[in-house]
Structure 1
Amino acid sequence: MTAARGPGQESLPGGARDPAHGSAPGAHAGHAREDPGPEVTARAALTRVLEPGDEPAGRWLREHGAVGLMRLLTGPDPQPAALGGAGPRRLAGYRARAAVADPRRDLAAAAAAGCRFVCPGSAQWPTQLDDLGDARPVGLWVRGTPDLRTWALRSVAVVGARACTPYGAHMAHTLAAGLAERGWVVVSGAAYGIDGAAHRGVLSSGGATAAVLACGVDVAYPRGHAGLLGAIAGQGLVLGELPPGSHPTPARFVLRNRVIAALTRGTVVVEAAHRSGSLVTARRARELGRFTMGVPGPATSGLSAGVHELLRGEAVLVTDAAEVVELVGGIGELAPERRGPVLPRDLLHPDTARVLEALPAGRPAQVEELALAAGTGTDEVIGRLYELHSLGFVERLGDGWRLTSQTRR
């Protein structure tokens, strides 16, 4: 993918060219044009140099641009003021990584694997990620054909415990399938447990799902989900901040969660213990002004304790896809009213119901007794009793009235 350099095109780290002669920022690899341009090339290199969520480095990127930052990291030692906030040892680590970064190779490897690199300024860049400020991803490596920006506009995160219960897996599966059937993209992390159940729920309904990874998008992690990740890439999207071949670490999993939170309209936590990483996603979503939701579980379950703690705070309790959509959707997308079955006595006029309630359960009663108990006149009681008789609620026994056997149940 290396392009020949023409007159006046200054060579930059990683084979990039001077911005004045490059392509527009935000172009992405995997399309017909071979040269992605200096901005994209520099950003691809920086995904190999910087760890996700590195805010000091994000500030340098904002101040100097991707091409300028790569120049600083690969040229002579920069002035301390240019890259403030990093000690000598940390800066040496950045420079060592920058010296061996080969973005052209990474972009070519991504294209060969059916992946592309999307960065700020691209038509496919989800601008809601800009809410992360200096912790915004340098760019995203994406596997799958759908348009990332379009999908992210109508997406919900479904996350939770890896060691989930059958109840949690069932709820994640049915909730995600319901969201997909309503036209929503379900985003999760492709981990075991709740994440996997959510992805499978969407795939089984033929819907749209996206997996955000803490490793390269060409790496099957966890290994047991290699088939699932292939299915997601075939029907949806697999994306991440790390370049091809990168392995996951505990810190990268935590930082990955901020992307899930920022990318989506809201986050639903299905099951989570007190120290679950999915709670990090939910709290970050709340900080970003997104909706935070939780599915309740048994009060005695430790795997629901974290969710219940969220629900005691600012999270909203949800039990199905309709209730999620009512929060994150547009005006008029309301969940159906929840109520128990309507009983025949619920349809009675209040005065008739009061006479019915005055009838004792185990014996007949006289009209005068019922008038006293109902607080009304005998003529009114007689009229209401005949109405109840026609509806099958009461029967006459001599001079008294009693409840029918069906009413007494």
Structure 2
Amino acid sequence: MSAPEAERLARVVLSRIGEPGDPRLTDLVHELGAATVLAGLRDQASAGELAADLHDRLTSVDAARELEAAAGRGLRFVVPGDAEWPDHLAALSHAPHLHERGGVPVGLWCRGPLPLDEAVGRAVAVVGSRSATTYGAAVATDVAAVLARESWTVVSGAAFGIDQAAHRGSLAAHGPTVAVLACGADRAYPTAHRAMIDYVADVGLVVSEAPPGAAPTRIRFLARNRLIAALARGTVVVEAALRSGALNTASWAQGLGRVVMGVPGPVTSAPSAGVHQLVRARDALLVTCGEEVLEAVSPSGSFALAEPRAPEAPRDRLTARERQVLDAVPLLRGADARSIGRTAGLSAARTQESLLVLHRAGLVEHGLGRWRVRDGEHVLHGSDAPAPPGDGTSLP
């Protein structure tokens, strides 16, 4: 299955003459079809009703030649109606516009072996600060690797910092990854990441709404962010300052009804302030590892985590009375059962019975009629326990 050729060629022209994510164009194309919109523009051009620059661009584009040249660079143009067009991009048609960007893309230029729909069938976006800390980069790498090992695609923007760490984490785990660019898919931005982007194109997929050769601009980054959010089931923000572009991606994900997750950082860390605001005021789900991300984006019940618990200690198996007696046993100098009972507030018989249980459990030792906590077991009282009175021979 593929889109009609006339529709594809019309979308090539519109991709070349329009700005990515311009809702004046995307909304019209979604409603009327690209061929109808292009025919209307050509009628306006014939009547001299178009601005000179748009008229010149419209008349200079040879769509068939554009596709041929793109194919020579390893690019293909994927449009609605193609077998590999992801159905969930349709959600952009009713998502609120942000920063005068929005709508379903006219088409997507793709470079790489993975079919687009398969690549993003199970995908999570991992985004964050370009000025990532060592902590943030490590968390992004680990989250991406966990997702990759479960055959989830990691979607990001190939930028410095968190984006780079996310792609590398997925690649290191031999998982699929998609890089969504604000420039043409045949270019590399930042140029320092050319090797990584080319490698993603070899084993995964590089995607752009901008036509081949297009340069990155601020408004194209904002348009690109909506695609990162729309291609994924959920978005994880790992480090983002209060004015970070990653928060724009999170806003798109929220507008699309997708899961938004935030990884907490130190409360004193400016690179995490935006994430904390997402969690505190914008209902983002706090996550700390890849497994928690998987639980959030997987179908209900298909990936459930056990409630985290500390390892069981011998003290956990004691009854309340046995713990009461253990707390009364001296740490250093021994005491007889009657003295321990007075400290514990129990009868000598009940104290003796509990001491025997504690002895069998290896928690106390006995000699010459006196009892004390076994060497090394005093840590069971915990660092937050009250300090022993007097000379420290027993606990209260």
Q: TM-score, normalised by structure 1?
A: 0.84
SS of aligned partner of 2:143: helix
Other-structure match for 1:56:
24
Q: In the aligned structure 1, how far is the partner of 2:166 from the partner of 2:149?
A: 13
Match in the other structure for 2:176:
208
- Check 1:94–1:380 CA distance in 2 against 1; reply closer, same or farther (3 A cut): farther
Contact 2:153–2:176, Cα closer than 8 Å, also in 1: yes
Q: How far is the alpha carbon of 1:373 from its aligned partner?
A: 4.8
312-321 vs 223-232, which moves further:
312-321
The answer to whether the 8 A contact 1:70-1:98 is kept is no
Residue number among 315, 327, 337 corresponding to 1:367 in the alignment: 337
In the alignment, which of 221, 230, 237 is matched to residue 253 of structure 1?
Answer: 221
Tell me what 1:307 maps to. 275
Distance between the aligned counterparts of 1:251 and 1:110, measured in 2? 23
Please report how far the alpha carbon of residue 369 of structure 1 lies from its aligned counterpart in structure 2 after TM superposition.
Answer: 4.5
Amino acid at match of 1:381: T
In structure 1, what is the Cα distance between the partners aligned to 2:367 and 2:328?
16
Q: Which one is further off, 263-272 or 164-173?
A: 164-173
Give the drift of 1:322: 0.8
Unmatched tracts of structure 1, length 5 or more:
1-23, 28-35, 80-87
- Among 271, 280, 294, the alignment partner of 1:325 is 294
Quote the Cα distance in structure 2 between the aligned partners of 1:266 and 1:76: 42
Residue in 2 that maps onto 1:172: 140
Matched, 1:73 2:41: yes
SS, match of residue 376 in structure 2: helix
In structure 2, C-alpha distance between the alignment counterparts of 1:298 and 1:78, rounded to whole Å:
61
Q: Residue by residue, what CA displacement relative to the aligned partner does 1:370-391 show, whole Å, maximum 9, x if unpaired? A: 4455454432321110111122
Q: CA deviation at 1:78?
A: 9.3
Which residue identity is paired with 1:396? H
SS at match of 2:59: helix
Taking the aligned partners of 1:221 and 1:351, their CA distance within structure 2 comes to 67
> 1:383 — aligned with what?
353
2:121 maps to 1:161: no
Give the whole-Å Cα distance in 2 for the aligned partners of 1:210 and 1:263. Answer: 10
What amino acid is the match of 2:297?
V
1:115 aligns with 2:83: no
For residues 367 and 331 of structure 2, what CA distance do their matches in structure 1 show? 14
Question: What is the alpha-carbon distance in structure 2 between the residues aligned to residue 63 and residue 269 of structure 1?
Answer: 33
- Residues 72 and 78, structure 1, Cα contact 8 Å, conserved in 2: no
1:191 maps onto 2:159 in alignment: yes
SS of 1:212 mapped into structure 2: strand
After superposition, what is the alpha-carbon deviation per residue over 1:152-190, rounded to whole angstroms, capped at 9, x for unaligned?
120000111112122222221222112101110000001
1:222 and 1:200 mapped to 2: Cα distance?
15
Letter in 2 for 1:67: A
1:11-57 CA deviation, whole Å, 9 max, x = no partner? xxxxxxxxxxxxx7x43xxxxxxxx6100110111111221221222
After TM superposition, the structure 1 stretch with the greater mean CA deviation from structure 2, 330-339 or 275-284, is 330-339
The whole-number CA distance in structure 1 between the counterparts of 2:296 and 2:316 is 31
2:59 paired residue number: 99
AA of the residue aligned to 2:323: A
**Aligned-residue offset at 1:269:** 1.0
Matched, 1:347 2:307: no
2:29–2:37 Cα contact (<8 Å) kept: yes
Equivalent residue, structure 2, for 1:131: 91
RMSD over aligned Cα, in angstroms? 2.2
CA contact (8 A) 1:393 1:406 kept: no
Partner Cα distance (1:131, 1:58) in 2 = 13
Q: Deviations over 1:93-128 (max 9, x none)?
A: 544432222222221111112211111111111111
Of 374, 377, 382, the match for 1:407: 377
The one of 111, 118, 121 equivalent to 1:150 is: 118
Aligned equivalents of 2:130, 2:89: Cα separation in 1:
26
* 8 A contact 1:325–1:335 mirrored in 2: no
Q: Distance in 1 between matches of 2:70 and 2:331?
A: 77
Amino acid at match of 1:215: C
Q: Which string of whole-angstrom CA distances, capped at 9 and with x for unpartnered residues, describes residues 345-366 of structure 1?
A: 2232333223212324454344
Unpaired segments ≥5 residues, structure 2: 94-101, 380-396
**CA distance in structure 2 between the aligned counterparts of 1:183 and 1:395, rounded to whole angstroms:** 53
Letter in 1 for 2:59: A
Greater alpha carbon shift after TM alignment, 343-352 vs 50-59: 343-352
Look up the match of 2:250: 282
Q: Is the 8 A contact 2:127 2:235 kept in 1?
A: yes
1:394 aligns with 2:364: yes
Q: Is the 8 A contact 2:15 2:211 kept in 1?
A: yes
Q: Structure 2 CA distance, aligned partners of 1:157 and 1:52?
A: 20
| 1:294 and 2:254 are equivalent in the alignment | no
* Structure 2 Cα separation of the partners of residues 97 and 346 of structure 1: 76
Match of 2:99 in 1: none
Q: What is the CA-CA distance between 1:293 and the residue it aligns to?
A: 1.0
Check the 8 A contact 2:127/2:156 in 1, yes or no.
yes
Q: Secondary structure at the match of 1:292?
A: strand
Match of 1:84 in 2: none
Amino acid at match of 2:261: M
Tell me, what secondary structure is at the counterpart of 1:405? Answer: coil
Q: Give the number of equivalent residue pairs.
A: 368
- Over 3 Å counting, the alpha-carbon distance change for 1:382 and 1:37 in structure 2 is same
Identify the residue that residue 97 of structure 2 maps to in structure 1.
Answer: none
Question: Does the Cα contact within 8 Å between 2:330 and 2:371 map onto a contact in 1?
Answer: no
